[in-house]
Amino acid sequence: MQPIADLDVLPDAVAPVSSAPDTAGTLDLPRPVAGRGGTNGRAVYIETYGCQMNVADSELVASILSGAGYAIASDEMDADVVLLNTCAIREKAEDRVRGRLTHVRARKERQAAEGGAALQIGVLGCMAERLRSKLLEQERLVDLVVGPDAYRDLPRLLAESEATGQAAVNVQLSREETYADLAPVRLDSNGVSAFVSIMRGCDNMCAFCVVPFTRGRERSRPVASILSEVGQLVDAGYKEVTVLGQNVNSYRVDQGGAPVDFAELLYRISLLSPELRIRYSTSHPKDCSDELLHVHRERPTVCDFIHLPVQHGNTDVLARMRRTYTREHYLDLVERARAIVPGVSLSTDIIAGFCGETDAEHADTLSLMEAVRYDHAFTFAYSERPDTYAARKYADDVPDSVKRARLSEIVALQREHALASHTARVGREEVVLVEGTSKRSDAQLRGRTDTSHMVVFDRPAGLERGDYAVVRVDDCTSATLLGTFVRKTTLAAETAPPVAVGGVA
Ligand code: SAH
Ligand code: SF4
Ligand code: F3S
């Protein structure tokens, strides 16, 4: 996750992510086959935009297509099929995809002119679902438009469009599909952390948001299939899972009359391994129960980090946004979270310049940020999305220049808070899960604390990706902690309750 979104970047986005085969994973999870030509002689390249859910979905798409005989190409130039798994959350997200499509289409035309093999181009995900067949009118030469609930149909659609030369479309949304039985092919993986999708869709209908339209109704995946997937990841040496859903903490299934909610599910996942860190994204404040907070408190491997998007600091704006809580409810929740989970780290999403936002209302967002002091924030200028409640009922009346100015104030304040939170950690020892080498230098490693702070430190001999290390924090910026390696460790050793010496139990 990015610590601070400077401007209009996607939450948690690692986009675009390409379908580079996982060379880091260890054991026998399904792996993409690199290079050209699977058993059906064709190779597919998948490029992912948007949120973590899309990254997880691309891994399902890779699984479905590997099963149908396609190879998964890590280089676009080796592929016969290029699939863009898209995002529709803001206009900018769609613009990026249109830009990419222009590029891929040019290659298709060039190849056709040279008499080469026909390239198939597919648009998957939220933009496919939002625009449906309109996308075919707007984007000539797209062969495939497939929505997020129709991926099982991909092999048939690809074969059909190859045979007929016509575009194939399936944008049917489902009330049941959770892809529960599929083993995702881990793409671009570091072999240390993985996403596990546990619910799909969203029933909340926040006024600004396109997701309920692109992802359909909420549905939760059966417990057994989640535990089995996480179990396989543990066996394969993974050390961290992030369980995913559009409104992840509204997870709920009925198991023969016994309901399992999100708190119970996390508890059960945490019993699988003492070495597996557990995170989740994205939660809605309305579903952040005391039971859930107690799971954070009681289970040492459930990270003390909660992404708790507030969206705005003013109660009237929250009502216009249809967020179902007030400023006061939210601040109460933050107080409860901090009382039950001491030291919990909080992050948020904030929208600047929503319909009708006044200067005074914007000032309430800044004052809420002061009251909470988030560790991270993803911040966005409001972007009107067609068909949403806000697009139908309100005027998008805050001028762009004002949206940008307000966003800059939010970003600047967040940077101060992040720096202060980092500075307060200088001198402390933190348990870090090593994710890989630092982006700047191979001589340094990078990893995260339980509270999701990024730490960079000089690589000692014998410490590898996937190891836990105690690191002393010496210095910081607003984005990163800089530290010194103290010792290699295990999570179990660091989280065991203190042993009473000579005392009364
Ligand atoms: N399901 C998640 C968020 C999904 S979208 C949740 O409810 O928290 C991620 C973030 O994008 C949202 O939290 C919101 O801050 C932002 N966002 C959504 N729609 C937007 C829009 N129309 N304009 C600007 N930002 C938007
Ligand atoms: Fe969108 Fe609201 Fe659902 Fe989040 S909770 S996905 S912001 S509708
Ligand atoms: Fe984008 Fe769809 Fe995710 S709109 S943020 S890819 S759910």
DSSP secondary structure string for all residues of 389-440: HHHHHS---S-HHHHHHHHHHHHHHHHHHHHHHHHTTTT-EEEEEEEEE-SS
The ligand 2 atom nearest the CA atom of 215: 6
Positive or negative, the Cα torsion across 288, 289, 292, 296? Answer: positive
User: Which pLDDT score is estimated for 124?
Assistant: 98
CA dihedral angle for residue 89, residue 91, residue 97, residue 103, rounded to 10 degrees: 180
C-alpha to C-alpha distance for 306 and 333, rounded to whole angstroms: 12
- Residues with CB under 6 Å of ligand 3 are 50-51, 53-54, 87-89, 125-126, 210-211, 214-215, 246
Judged by average pLDDT, the poorest of 15-24, 91-100, 183-192 is: 15-24
Tell me what pLDDT residue 14 has.
35
What pLDDT, on the 0 to 100 scale, is given for residue 40? Answer: 86
| Residue 206 marked as a ligand binder | yes
207 CA → ligand 2 middle, Å? 9
Per-residue pLDDT reduced to its tens digit, 433-465 = 999 999 889 999 999 999 999 999 999 999 999
Q: Which residue has the tokens 């049941």?
A: 176
The predicted pLDDT at position 19 comes to 65
CA of 368 to the centre of ligand 3 (A): 26
Per residue, the 3-state secondary structure of 187-256, as one string, reads: ECCCCCEEEEECEECCCCCCCCCCHHHHHCCCEECCHHHHHHHHHHHHHCCCCEEEEECCCHHHCEEEEC
Which ligand is located closest to the Cα atom of residue 308? 1
> Which pLDDT score is estimated for 37?
56
Residues 484, 501: Cα–Cα separation, whole Å: 31
- The number of the ligand 1 atom at minimal distance from the alpha carbon of 390 is 22
User: Is 303 annotated for ligand binding?
Assistant: no
What CATH topology corresponds to 429-495? OB fold (Dihydrolipoamide Acetyltransferase, E2P) (2.40.50)
**For ligand 2, is residue 246 a contact (CB within 6 Å)?**
yes
Q: Is the pLDDT of residue 15 over 90?
A: no
- Written as six digits, the tokens of 85 are 């798994």
Share of the chain above pLDDT 70, in %: 91
Instruction: Tell me the average pLDDT of the chain.
Output: 91
The predicted pLDDT at position 2 comes to 31
Q: What is the 281 CA–ligand 1 centroid distance (Å)?
A: 13
Q: So what's the pLDDT on residue 498?
A: 58
Let me know if the fold of 193-423 is the same as that of 429-495. no
Ligand 1 atom 12: residue of nearest CA = 349
pLDDT higher than threshold 60 for residue 36: no
> Strand (E) positions, 9-126?
17-18, 43-48, 71-72, 81-86, 120-124
Helix axes 223-235, 262-270, angle to 10 degrees: 30
Ligand 1: centre distance to CA 209 (Å): 6
Q: Which residue minimizes the CA distance to atom 3 of ligand 3?
A: 51
Question: What CATH number was assigned to the domain covering residues 2-170?
Answer: 3.40.50.12160
Our answer on whether the CB atom of 11 is closer than 6 Å to any ligand 2 atom is no
* CA of 248, nearest ligand number: 1
Q: Is 51 annotated for ligand binding?
A: yes
For 91, 93, 223, 224, the CA distances from 260, given in Å and listed in that order, are 37, 35, 8, 11
Q: Looking at ligand 2, which atom is closest to the CA of residue 349?
A: 7
**C-beta separation of 141 from 105 below 8 A:** yes
Neighbours of 326 (CB within 10 A): 14
Query: How far apart (Å, rounded) are the C-alpha atoms in residues 21 and 213?
Result: 32
Instruction: Please check whether residue 205 is in contact with residue 249, taking contact to mean a CB–CB distance below 8 angstroms.
Output: no
Which atom number of ligand 1 is nearest to the Cα of residue 388?
A: 22
Residue 391 predicted with pLDDT over 80: yes
Look at residue 140 in the predicted model and tell me its pLDDT. 82
pLDDT tens readout for residues 405-438: 999 999 999 999 999 999 999 999 999 999 999 9
The pLDDT of residue 12 is: 35
- CA 284 to ligand 2: nearest atom: 5
Nearest to 151 by CA among 196, 131, 181: 181
Does ligand 2 come within 6 angstroms of the Cβ of 309? Answer: no
- Residue 51 CA: which ligand is closest? 3
User: Residue 415 has what pLDDT?
Assistant: 96
Rounded to the nearest whole angstrom, what is the distance from the C-alpha of residue 383 to the centroid of ligand 2?
14
Quick check: pTM over 0.85? yes
Buried b or exposed e, range 48-72, using 16+ CB within 10 angstroms: bbbbbbbbbbbbbbbbbbbebebbb
CA distances from 289 to 9, 95, 264, 452 (A): 29, 38, 11, 21
Give the span between the Cα atoms of 108 and 11, in whole angstroms.
32
Atom of ligand 2 nearest to the CA of 203: 3
Amino acid 31: pLDDT: 47
- Provide mean pLDDT across the span 120-130: 97
Domain ranges of the chain: 2-170, 193-423, 429-495
Q: Sorting pLDDT into bands at 50, 70 and 90, what band is 500? A: low
**Cβ pair 124, 143 in contact under 8 A:** no
Q: Is 87 annotated as a binding residue?
A: yes
Q: Does the pLDDT of residue 34 top 60, yes or no?
A: no
Percentage of the chain lying above the pLDDT 90 cut = 84
Q: Give, in words, the CATH class of 193-423.
A: alpha beta
